[in-house]
Amino acid sequence: MCGIIGYIGSRSCPELIYQGLEKLEYRGYDSAGIAVISSGQITTVKAAGKLARLRPFMGGLPAAAHIGMGHTRWATHGEPSDENAHPHGEAGASVIHNGIIENYKELKLELIAQGVSFKSETDTEVILHLLLAELQKGTSVHMALLKLLPQLQGAFSLGIMNRDEPEALYLVKQGSPLVIGCGKDETFFASDPLPLIPYCQHFLFLEDGEFARITRAGAEVWNFAGVQQEKPAVTMDWDSAAAEKNGFNHYMLKEIHEQPQMFSSTISRHLDLHTNSLILDHLGLDKIDLAQVKRLHFVACGSAYYAALVGKYLMETLPQFPCDVELASEFRYREPFIGPDTLVIAVSQSGETADTLASVKYARAKGCQTLALCNVKFSSIPRECHSAFYMEAGPEIGVASTKAFTSMLLNLYIFSLGLARLRHTLSAEALAQHLSQLKLLPPLAAQALAQDKNIATYALQFLHETHCLFIGRGFSYAIALEGALKLKEISYIHGEGYAGGELKHGPIALIEKSLAVIAVVPRDKLYDKMLANIEEIRARKGRIIAITSGNDPHLAQTCEAVLSCPAIDNPCLQAVLSSMILQQFAYYVALHRGTDVDQPRNLAKSVTVE
Ligand code: M6R
């Protein structure tokens, strides 16, 4: 959570940093601030609320400054306020922080006992005072860091500015992400490469337990013991236009509309369209000893967890592996029955989710092989895993996951087909049939998007709901869970997802004439079971909105509304299409309710603290 960015070079930096914060705002938007050094002075501006609230104060920064850093906050310690906004600084030094200092209370009490007074309620301010105490003794920042870093517990990516060393910035990485961007006679840092893409292609990724000094000439890196580290640069050639709204009103809508094209490019990466055969090169299996693997264990959070639920169904039916799925936040604190015969697969769009990352470390410590299914290249989770399989969905900026979720489904499907081929659990004919169906997805996805007017119209009738249920069975169970999450995240309407078969075990008590139930009812092998659920809801006067596949005259007669989805005789691909309908439904409900679709309250895109 929180985004940090900094610059040192010859450009005027206040606006550059502000624009970088715009790209990082998806990481947190409770407050923002920028500090620069110019003429031997540190100048800071900050404001509670979204980044735009900082704009009127930007004139307070010297335009000529060419060294500075900025922060956009997701509040952990202390409410969103001007005082708690970063950077935190006295005249001599300034600090920005992403993470949590877990032992800040003890440190704060010690500092107060020494006579230090605090201006904010943040955990970050203890770092500032520990640093200032050293600098006041004449210690260099480098030596001060070697002394104070071992005192800090928790997660902390830091940017540090010292008035007496105005041609350098110091960076620290422990637990939260940090990347250095190397330009020509200029150096940047940020929480992720996205805001740096317009300026540089070469990046240094710091590891946990490292700190760096950057100047316009580049970076020097040490570990916390003071031993200098060699850092090879990696090259990334992302298209910076991919991170723009490109004419859409919201990133979320743009990302929903990118799906047909994204599916096409995923399919052509993994499928030889001429021979209708699977390409195994990009599945991340080269570094996995498959002969050792007896079972799979998915770990993930949020939407990625729901995608992994679909993954379990796929892995059990196609490559026929025993497979578990677990919330990373539970897995990391259990004693799961795993070992060298388990392949732990971490699913994460950002590759930075703290619980998922900790789960990978835990699995490695238990001797498991680990594989990341991630979107953001070189992020922490793939770097921590033995191997990585990249989704290549392009940047996802909207806080509510859309294209990354369906990309996870598609990539898990392709991955399971790859495993099935290697394990000989699918006949050549069956595999060929799966591959032929895959090719149908992009045009059907485009048809799903063409439903948007109907969906937007129905969404108008849904505006004043306060709570609702989502139900589905089989693959559609995970889609019901994801549909409920999407609606609640961005519209703030309470939605709960249930397996259809669970209705009678409790939730049916909620059914009455005002309750809306969104039923995901494709024409699959569980269709009749879902019809039985629908009848039970109707018998209790509940209202039903059905997400169908193709035309369904029966449901059209029995339900309050039918949102029709293109039909395909493949449960995983049908799940992708149903999910696209629910994404649009959530989007239009939120839009009509006037909520902030791309930056819903209290959320952040990348959950880098637990
Ligand atoms: O980056 P990750 O896929 O690891 O993120 C996991 C969740 O935080 C994420 O899916 C979250 O639930 C989204 N807001 C869902 O829309």
Look at residue 18 and give its three-state secondary structure: helix
Say which residue the tokens 């059209």 belong to.
556
Mark whether 466 and 585 lie in a shared domain: yes
36 occurs within a structural domain: yes
* Cis bond upstream, residue 14 (ω within 30): no
Mark whether 419 and 537 lie in a shared domain: no
Mark whether 176 and 247 lie in a shared domain: no
CATH no. for residue 112? 3.60.20.10
- pLDDT tens profile 300-330: 999 999 999 999 999 999 999 999 999 999 9
How crowded is residue 506: how many other Cβ atoms within 10 Å of its Cβ?
A: 9
Helix ranges (DSSP H) in 114-234? 125-136, 141-148
226 occurs within a structural domain: yes
Mark whether 480 and 584 lie in a shared domain: yes
Mark whether 231 and 248 lie in a shared domain: no
Q: Which atom of ligand 1 is nearest to the CA of 374?
A: 3
Query: Pick the catalytic residue: 23, 108, 231, 605?
Result: 605
Q: Whole-angstrom Cα distance, residue 481 to residue 476?
A: 9
- pLDDT tens profile 82-130: 899 999 997 789 999 999 999 999 999 999 999 999 999 999 999 999 9
310 occurs within a structural domain: yes
606 occurs within a structural domain: no
CA-closest residue to ligand 1 atom 8: 302
Choose one of 237, 261, 292: the last residue of a domain: 237
Q: Active site includes 323?
A: no
601 occurs within a structural domain: no
pLDDT, mean of residues 492-497: 97
- pLDDT tens profile 444-460: 999 999 999 999 999 99
Q: Whole-angstrom Cα distance, residue 8 to residue 19?
A: 15
220 occurs within a structural domain: yes
Question: In this structure, are residues 24 and 183 in contact, taking their beta carbons and an 8 Å threshold?
Answer: no
The tally of domains found in the chain comes to 3
Query: Pick the catalytic residue: 2, 13, 200, 368?
Result: 2
Cα–Cα distance list, 68 to 5, 58, 371, 553 (Å)? 9, 13, 37, 63
CATH no. for residue 430? 3.40.50.10490
- pLDDT tens profile 347-379: 999 999 999 999 999 999 999 999 999 999 889
603 occurs within a structural domain: no
Question: In this structure, are residues 218 and 183 in contact, taking their beta carbons and an 8 Å threshold?
Answer: no
pLDDT of residue 38: 94
Task: Name the β-bridge partners of 525.
Answer: none
Structural domain containing residue 464: 452-593
Q: Whole-angstrom Cα distance, residue 319 to residue 422?
A: 8
Mark whether 424 and 521 lie in a shared domain: no
Choose one of 400, 416, 444: the last residue of a domain: 444
Q: If you measure from the C-alpha of residue 503 to the centroid of ligand 1, how many angstroms do you get, rounded to a whole number?
A: 26
pTM exceeding the 0.85 threshold for the entire prediction: yes
33, pLDDT greater than 90: yes
Q: Whole-angstrom Cα distance, residue 42 to residue 89?
A: 9
Choose one of 237, 266, 299: the last residue of a domain: 237
Mark whether 430 and 322 lie in a shared domain: yes
581, pLDDT greater than 90: yes
Around ligand 1, the residues with Cβ closer than 6 Å are 301-304, 348-350, 353, 356, 399-401, 485, 489, 603, 607
Mark whether 400 and 294 lie in a shared domain: yes
Question: In this structure, are residues 533 and 471 in contact, taking their beta carbons and an 8 Å threshold?
Answer: yes
Q: Which atom of ligand 1 is nearest to the CA of 405?
A: 10
495 occurs within a structural domain: yes
Mark whether 146 and 55 lie in a shared domain: yes
Mark whether 324 and 460 lie in a shared domain: no
Q: Active site includes 572?
A: no
Mark whether 377 and 493 lie in a shared domain: no
Mark whether 254 and 221 lie in a shared domain: no
Q: Whole-angstrom Cα distance, residue 436 to residue 429?
A: 10
Q: If you measure from the C-alpha of residue 146 to the centroid of ligand 1, how many angstroms do you get, rounded to a whole number?
A: 35
